[in-house]
Amino acid sequence: MFSNTIIPDFDMFNILNAAMKDLMCRTDSKTEVKEVTEIVPSCYNKVDDTGLTLVVELPGVKKEDVSATLDGRKFSICAPRDLFGKKVTYSLDLKIGAEFDDTKPEVNYADGVFTLKLPKRGVPEPRKLTIQ
């Protein structure tokens, strides 16, 4: 059964604040606090009959600062920006499924949103083989 008892010294703000500090800081083996310099951006994808649409959110980044590569099945995006007076870099590496045609990418960037569209590879037609 649940009770209506309030747990003493339970302060949600302090718990959330501590969690955010943990997210924003990392420690090395000497337990020195280091600031985060790399951030994994929010991203989502949609797969339908036509292909793959990948959306990466890069708020506060100028178009000319975005660097994206598609090397076979590996997609990488990197974008530096200032965040609260600190230099940080959005960085993301993903593998793209073999069913998508990486030779025909459609790329767009507007209002801090990067969009990559890849069509599905065509199904190869069966060929009659000649036996010699």
pLDDT of 30: 54
Gap between the Cα atoms of 85 and 4, Å rounded: 44
Residue whose pair of structure tokens reads 């955010």 in the numeric block: 20
Gap between the Cα atoms of 59 and 114, Å rounded: 10
> How confident is the chain (132 residues) per 10-residue block, as mean pLDDT?
38 51 52 69 92 94 94 92 87 91 93 94 81 87
Largest CA distance in the chain: 86
pLDDT of 48: 92
Query: What tokens appear for 34 in the block?
Result: 């280091």
- CA triplet 108, 114, 119: central angle to 5 degrees? 60
pLDDT of 61: 94
For 114, counting Cβ atoms within 10 Å of its Cβ (0-12 exposed, 13-18 middle, 19+ buried), the class is buried
Gap between the Cα atoms of 85 and 80, Å rounded: 13
pLDDT of 21: 52
What residue type is 115 in one-letter code?
T
Residue 18 dihedral angles phi and psi, to the nearest 5°: -65, -40
Gap between the Cα atoms of 58 and 79, Å rounded: 8
